[in-house]
Each structure stands twice: as structure tokens, then as C-alpha cells.
Homo-oligomer: A and B are copies of this chain.
Amino acid sequence: MIATGVIVEYNPFHNGHLHHIKESRQKTGADVVIAVMSGHFLQRGEPALLNKWARTEMALKNGVDLVIELPYPFATGYSQEFAHGGVALLEALNCKFISFGSEHGSIERFKATYNAFNAHSDELNKTIHESVKSGISYPQALNKAHQHLEQKYNLQLLDLSKPNNILGYHYFEEIQKQHAQIEAVTIQRIAAGYHEQIDVQKNIASATGIRKELFENKKIHAIEQFLPSKSYSILENTSKFVNWDDYYPYLRFTILRFTATQLQEYVDITEGIENLLIQAAKQCETFEQFMQKIKSKRFTWTRLQRMLTHILTGYTKEMKETIQSPSYIRVLGMTEQGQKYLKEQKKNIQLPVVNKVGKDFENLLMLDIRATDLYMLGSSQGQIGMDFRTPPIRIQKKADL
């Protein structure tokens, strides 16, 4: 069986995702589509709208055959770390292809960019380093360095101001770094930009736009057109969507409970930001106010939110040092086809497959179990200890596509 992997958050699963799954399946001739999906905290440093099992169900009902959890450190890491975890898991699962959406849409350009960056890596790193030192964020610095190379050597490179091109680039880079066998393909994203408002004339909107609409408009009906019905019906049955507002009281308490020195123990807390966090926690009653208070040119909004996520979930630098790569395959859900694939590949899969969390589990899995418990304390999305009690979601009949 040919397996094609995707790395996703599905927050929530929308028409763009459906398009990506369909196109990926067709383009690669896949028998099975495997999604490595983030758990309860996401790459933008945010809690997920819905718990991971609800999002798994969305995926399985819309063409994905197997959902594997991307462990917390990768799901909430920098783009490189996110890509590292995702690629490693898809490779361990013996996927023949990894398919990602990008603004550019042709894999050749990714290859060319990777090769150019490799050929001029010293120059690239120097330029990035200088830009970051001058006070701009890493993504901006990367983009600037890339324009510099493009002009100097008269190259045609990827537009790295586009978020999905960047992420795709990191997947491509990780495949090379890991000497992975998996082959990269890319599907061009259609219609919606990443951060755009929803456009009622279309049936495609970004997850960011959809979430914005959900929280600001609060009329779930307004987003119906952008979601497959099997995803929409799950959203429709959700009483309350989760966002940072639900965790701000806990975050604020946690920040004020620590000294600045203690806060430095958490991942990404660097450059004296701990004092600013304490000041802001003292003054700000809401998460929005808090973010407005701490934002600056030096840090992207996303990077700040990731710091806060790590403080919230107690993810320390000390723990991070012990973590290299995913060390198990946690199955969140599967169709019959997905199950068949796991059976077929049983002997070839290079990591232990965890269908049910037992009493003994690795440190890495502990982070996801804890993230679940803390997520549940701030939301009405389930109970403490659900990781132990929730078997993989199973969809009996493969969704019609």
C-alpha cells in the first residue's frame, strides 16, 4: 500500500484541507493518507479550538485514514522543530510521500531554494544573524537574507514571506537533514491567504479567518460554507470553542507565582522578557491586553504565544534538552484502511505504536498527557486523564470522497 503523509493542525478542518487531502491522494496515487496532527496546543502558541479527538474525527470523516499525534515539543516548536517531528514520524511510518500545501505549488522551486541556501549557507547565516541582532524577528530576517541572495546571485527562489512556503521549505530541509526516504510533493493552496478575513463569495477560507469569525462574530452559521458538512456538524455540536481567554487566569496566576529567575527555566524565555511578562501580568486583566503590553518588533506574536504556552504547560528548558525526536507513534484515530496499513507495516514501522496509553509511558508522552489535563481544566472539552481512557477514534466506513 502506498502511504502519503500530511502534517496538520485541523483547527478546524475546512474546505482547503479537504482539497489538499483529495489532491494529495490523487497526485501520489495513495492507498492511505496519514495525518500527523498536533494535540491540544498548536504551533502558533495557542490552545486548539476543539480537543484532539474531535479534530481526529473531523479528519477521519474527510478522507484521512490514520491520525498520529505530533508530540507537544514539536507541535509547539519553531517551524524547524515542527517540521522535524512531523517528517520523522511520517518517515517512521514508511510513507512514500509527504504532501504539503504551499503558495508556490511546485516542488522544483523548493529544491532550488534548498540548494542555493546550502551553497551559500555561511553568507545566509551571517545575514540572518545580523538582522536578528538589529532587532527584527527571525521570519523577517530569513526573508531579508533570502532576498539578498536572490539579488546577489541572480537566483529565482521561493517567496519566503509566505507562511506555507516557509513551512514547506522546512519540511524539504528536514527530509534532507534526516536522510529520509520520503519524497516531497506540494499542492498549490487555493483562494484564501493565510491571515485573510473570510470572503463570503468563496467557499475557501483560512483556519485563521474561520477562527476569527467564530470568536468575533460568534455566529457559527457564518462559517458553514467554508467547512465540509462532516466537519461543520462536529463544530455545530460544540458548546464552546477554546481560546487563550480560557487560560489567561491560569497563565496570569502562574506568571505571578514565579520570580523572574524561575520563569527563565521555561522554554524560549530569553532576553529579559521574563520581567516584562511579570509586569504585564500584574497590570492586564485580559489576554488581549496582556499581548498588547508585551508585543514588540523583536518577537513575533506567535513566538510570544509559544513562550506563554510553555509557561502555562510547564515545559522547561531542562525537559527540552532530553528530547531529540519522536520516540513512539501515538494513534489518535483510524479508518479500516488506516488499520489495515498499520497491520501490513507492523514489522517495518521503526517506532513503538501506542494505541492505548498505559501506566508506563515515556517522558515525551507525559508532556502530551499533561497538556491534555491542563487543556481540560480551562475548557469544557473533556475530563482530566482522557489520554488514558480514550482509545483511538475509529470510523467504520471509509468516508465517500
Contact = CB atoms under 8 A, between A and B. Distances in A.
Interface of A: 249-250, 252-254, 256-259, 262, 282-283, 312-314, 366, 370, 373-374, 377, 384-385
B313 A256 contact: no
Contacts of A252: 377
Contacts of A258: 314
Contacts of A256: 370, 373-374, 377, 384
B314 A373 contact: no
B253 A377 contact: yes
A279 to B, nearest CB: 10
A335 to B, nearest CB: 32
A42 B326 CA distance: 46
B385 A257 contact: no
Which 10 residue pairs of A and B lie closest in terms of their CB atoms, listed nearest first?
A: A257-B314, A282-B384, A250-B253, A256-B373, A253-B377, A282-B385, A256-B374, A258-B314, A257-B374, A253-B374
Contact of A257 (B249, B262, B282, B370): B370
A377 B249 contact: yes
A83 to B, nearest CB: 28
A255 to B, nearest CB: 10
18 contacts: A249-B249, A249-B250, A249-B377, A250-B253, A253-B253, A253-B254, A253-B374, A254-B254, A254-B257, A256-B374, A257-B312, A257-B313, A257-B314, A257-B370, A258-B314, A262-B314, A282-B384, A282-B385
Contacts of A282: 373, 384-385
A370 B259 CA distance: 9
A83 B259 CA distance: 28
Nearest to A315: B257
Contacts of A314: 257-258, 262
A3 B254 CA distance: 42
Contacts of A377: 249, 252-253, 256
Contacts of A283: 384
A232 B280 CA distance: 37
Contacts of A373: 256, 282
A250 B370 CA distance: 15
Most chain B beta carbons < 10 A, residue from A257, A258, A377? A257
A225 to B, nearest CB: 38
Nearest to A363: B259
Nearest to A314: B257
A254 B258 CA distance: 12
Nearest to A249: B377
A252 B314 CA distance: 14
Contacts of A366: 259
A101 B244 CA distance: 50
A275 B370 CA distance: 14
A395 B259 CA distance: 35
Nearest to A313: B257
A230 to B, nearest CB: 33
A303 to B, nearest CB: 21
Nearest to A373: B256
A263 to B, nearest CB: 11
A377 B282 CA distance: 10
Contacts of A370: 256-257
Contacts of A259: 366
A254 B252 CA distance: 12
A184 B253 CA distance: 41
Contacts of A262: 314
